[in-house]
Chains A and B, each alone.
Chain A
């Protein structure tokens, strides 16, 4: 388990900045607009994962062989990395829940 978590961290670290940008957009939107925007943030997160996949395939695909030689498939690494990221995102939302407007708050 420790080995897997460390490898997932190594895999995720180079794309963390890309992912954090999308997470920040989601959190700011939630804090400004309200809880009704939650489903939309999941779509933004999905776009973030697509950006992460593109970035990693374009700039870091040569390192895939390291993870394969460690016995892990690349799709498995993506699933683990995205799952961990999503879990952390949900925990952050739970922690910030009292600060998130419960009704839509849009300037018109």
Chain B
């Protein structure tokens, strides 16, 4: 079983320490939910892990081997907040470069694939494209998947499809997910971390989200 370990991340932005004591582990077969307020550094942390942002200090390792760029050798895949597919190319062709051949049969069965298969990115609605891009990353060859706000811009039905796909794919992968739709994160995560004041706090009881000031109350 592969383990992703993120330790001692320290990062400043415009003189403000946004990350100063971050510790995170993610095992294959596990979904780690990352919650936090706007601007607390969730996206920055995912970019640091993926290797596209260089912090003052960080230790990111898979199975004890430190890695600089997570995408080298398809070790990690990352869903950014913005659309990332080239616009003028058939997205069925683009998907073949990212989707794991072993997961291709289940990827082909997805309703969103049927809708999008012969289209280009600029021929899809923003929500369809977002859902397709997310599904591509979830079904990618990478051992660890980093998802930045995958539930944004998609319908509740698509959110359910995504959660099911994540549960299917997580058998062979580790997933770190962050989103403001905390109820989806609570539902899908095996382990929960709250990023507060630049530090990660392990959440064992959802009531802690209230006591740490992230939520005003929990709807049951």
Residue in A10, A60, A64, A70 whose beta carbon sits within 8 Å of that of B98 in the complex: A70
Residues 72-128 of B at the A interface (beta carbon under 8 Å): 72-74, 77-78, 80, 82-86, 88-89, 94, 97-98
Q: Is the CB of B86 within 8 A of A65?
A: no
- Residue B69 lies at the interface, judged by CB distance under 8 Å to chain A: yes
Query: CA A62 – CA B85 in complex, angstroms?
Result: 8
- Once A73-B71, A73-B72 are accepted as A-B contacts, the answer to whether A66 and B86 lie under 8 Å apart by CB is yes
Number of chain A residues whose Cβ lies closer than 8 Å to a Cβ of chain B: 18
- A-B pairs with beta carbons under 8 A, tally: 51
Q: Is the CB of A73 within 8 A of B69?
A: yes
Q: Specify which chain A residues have a CB less than 8 angstroms from the CB of B73 in the assembled complex.
A: 71
Residues 126-152 of B at the A interface (beta carbon under 8 Å): 136-137, 140-142
Query: CA A64 – CA B88 in complex, angstroms?
Result: 15
Q: Is the CB of A69 within 8 A of B69?
A: no
- Once A10-B86, A14-B86, A71-B72 are accepted as A-B contacts, the answer to whether A66 and B77 lie under 8 Å apart by CB is no
Q: Is the CB of A68 within 8 A of B78?
A: yes
- Residue A13 lies at the interface, judged by CB distance under 8 Å to chain B: yes
Interface residues on B, range: 20 to 34
- A74 CB to closest chain B CB, in angstroms? 9
Residues 30-58 of A at the B interface (beta carbon under 8 Å): none
Q: Specify which chain A residues have a CB less than 8 angstroms from the CB of B88 in the assembled complex.
A: 13-14
Q: Specify which chain B residues have a CB less than 8 angstroms from the CB of A64 in the assembled complex.
A: 84
Q: Specify which chain A residues have a CB less than 8 angstroms from the CB of B50 in the assembled complex.
A: 68
Q: Specify which chain B residues have a CB less than 8 angstroms from the CB of A107 in the assembled complex.
A: none
Q: Specify which chain A residues have a CB less than 8 angstroms from the CB of B86 in the assembled complex.
A: 10, 14, 60, 63, 66
- Residue B52 lies at the interface, judged by CB distance under 8 Å to chain A: yes
Query: CA A74 – CA B125 in complex, angstroms?
Result: 27
Q: Is the CB of A10 within 8 A of B84?
A: no
Q: Specify which chain B residues have a CB less than 8 angstroms from the CB of A66 in the assembled complex.
A: 84-86, 94, 97-98
Query: CA A61 – CA B98 in complex, angstroms?
Result: 18
Query: CA A14 – CA B52 in complex, angstroms?
Result: 23
- Once A63-B84, A65-B84 are accepted as A-B contacts, the answer to whether A71 and B71 lie under 8 Å apart by CB is yes
Residue in A7, A60, A63 whose beta carbon sits within 8 Å of that of B97 in the complex: A7
Query: Which 7 pairs between the two chains have the least Cβ-Cβ distance?
Result: A65-B84, A68-B71, A70-B97, A71-B74, A69-B77, A63-B86, A62-B82
Known A3-B97, A62-B83; further 18 A-B contacts with Cβ < 8 A: A6-B97, A7-B97, A62-B84, A63-B84, A63-B85, A66-B84, A66-B94, A68-B52, A68-B71, A69-B78, A69-B84, A69-B98, A69-B136, A70-B97, A71-B72, A71-B74, A72-B71, A73-B69
A residues apposed to B, CB below 8 Å:
3, 6-7, 10, 13-14, 60, 62-66, 68-73
The 27 listed contacts between A and B (C-beta, < 8 Å) are A3-B97, A7-B97, A10-B86, A10-B89, A13-B88, A14-B88, A60-B86, A62-B80, A62-B84, A65-B80, A65-B84, A66-B86, A66-B94, A68-B71, A68-B78, A69-B71, A69-B77, A69-B78, A69-B98, A69-B136, A71-B71, A71-B73, A71-B74, A71-B141, A72-B71, A73-B69, A73-B71
